[in-house]
């Protein structure tokens, strides 16, 4: 396999991660996990905060710095993620406005299927694991029921939203866009991307950079020492948060003259089928990663 083909493959996987984070469904972390680049991402982000990495940069050893952070991998990954976000944001915004029940039903199917498949990959269930799952479900329900319908548009809050949502891009089982839904800023950020609101995107992007760097060490530690517990709590949180993505839970859907039950069922099934197809492809290439 040539180098350019490897780079394009990484970019395509980044595109899938970005697409997953545009919609409040399959998380970017889940896509990274099932495409076999999850640990590469975590290790690369963790290395950014290593003293040796910054020592190389301070001594103008750019080649060594690039090697430390796996720069080529991160560059092509980011190209794919950014291309996906900017190409899909406007389409998703328009679809949510005109077909709310259909799109939220699709998201619902994506979340159900991806969560259940991730739970299937966690081995060795017992009382402790069940408690972790219940804790996650309760947290999800509480957060969704306590989250306000409107949140401030202040720059400090946008910065915070960026810092929090970007961390979920590398956490399997929870979507960054879903977190934005909970924080009441999904439509706001998607519209900013669609109209290229540079100031809003700059503040949100700065929060993303700070958040991912600050969280990388903590995430690396959790996955090294408490991977199973962390994953179960996160997946429980997503399952509990399904009340937020229920197709008829938002105001746009409530305002429709008809409930569109059949259409919702079809689009939910499409979401489930999409995740199953991705999982099937993953099993063919042999990149399943069970969590023991």
Q: 105 and 252 in contact (C-beta within 8 Å)? A: no
Boundaries of every domain in the chain: 3-285
Q: What is the pLDDT of residues 67-93, one digit of tens each?
A: 888 889 999 999 998 898 888 877 877
Q: 69 and 44 in contact (C-beta within 8 Å)? A: yes
Higher pLDDT among residues 142 and 292, named by residue: 142
285: pLDDT strictly greater than 60? no
pLDDT of residue 1: 53
Q: 23 and 175 in contact (C-beta within 8 Å)? A: yes
Q: What is the pLDDT of residues 203-230, one digit of tens each?
A: 999 998 888 878 877 877 887 888 888 8
Band of pLDDT at residue 286, cut at 50, 70 and 90: low
pTM: 0.68
Contacts of 28 (CB under 8 A, 6+ apart): 17, 18, 20, 21, 81, 168, 169, 170, 175, 176
- Which range among 129-133, 138-142, 188-192, 207-211 has the greatest average pLDDT? 129-133
């Amino acid at each position: 396999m040539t180098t350019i083909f490897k780079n394009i493959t990484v970019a395509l996987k980044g595109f899938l991660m970005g697409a997953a984070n545009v919609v409040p469904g399959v998380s970017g972390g889940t896509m990274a996990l099932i495409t076999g680049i999850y640990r590469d991402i975590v290790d690369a982000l963790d290395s950014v905060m290593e003293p040796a990495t910054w020592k190389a940069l301070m001594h103008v050893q750019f080649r060594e710095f690039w090697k430390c952070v796996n720069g080529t991998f991160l560059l092509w990954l980011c190209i794919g993620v950014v291309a996906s976000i900017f190409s899909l944001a406007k389409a998703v915004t328009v679809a949510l406005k005109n077909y709310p029940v259909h799109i939220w039903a699709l998201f619902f199917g994506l979340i159900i299927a991806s969560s259940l498949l991730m739970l299937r990959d966690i081995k060795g269930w017992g009382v402790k694991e069940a408690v972790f799952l219940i804790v996650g479900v309760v947290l999800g329900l509480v957060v969704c029921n306590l989250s306000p319908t409107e949140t401030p548009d202040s720059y400090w809050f946008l910065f915070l939203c960026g810092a929090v949502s970007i961390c979920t891009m590398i956490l399997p089982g929870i979507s960054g866009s879903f977190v934005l839904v909970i924080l009441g800023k999904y439509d706001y950020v998607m519209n900013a991307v669609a109209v290229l609101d540079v100031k809003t995107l700059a503040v949100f992007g700065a929060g993303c950079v700070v958040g991912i760097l600050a969280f990388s060490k903590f995430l690396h530690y959790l996955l090294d020492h408490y991977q199973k517990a962390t994953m179960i709590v996160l997946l429980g949180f997503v399952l509990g948060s399904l009340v937020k993505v229920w197709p008829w839970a938002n105001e746009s859907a409530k305002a429709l003259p008809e409930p569109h039950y059949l259409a919702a069922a079809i689009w939910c099934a499409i979401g489930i089928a999409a995740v199953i197809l991705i999982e099937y492809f993953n099993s063919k290439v042999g990149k399943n990663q069970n969590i023991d």
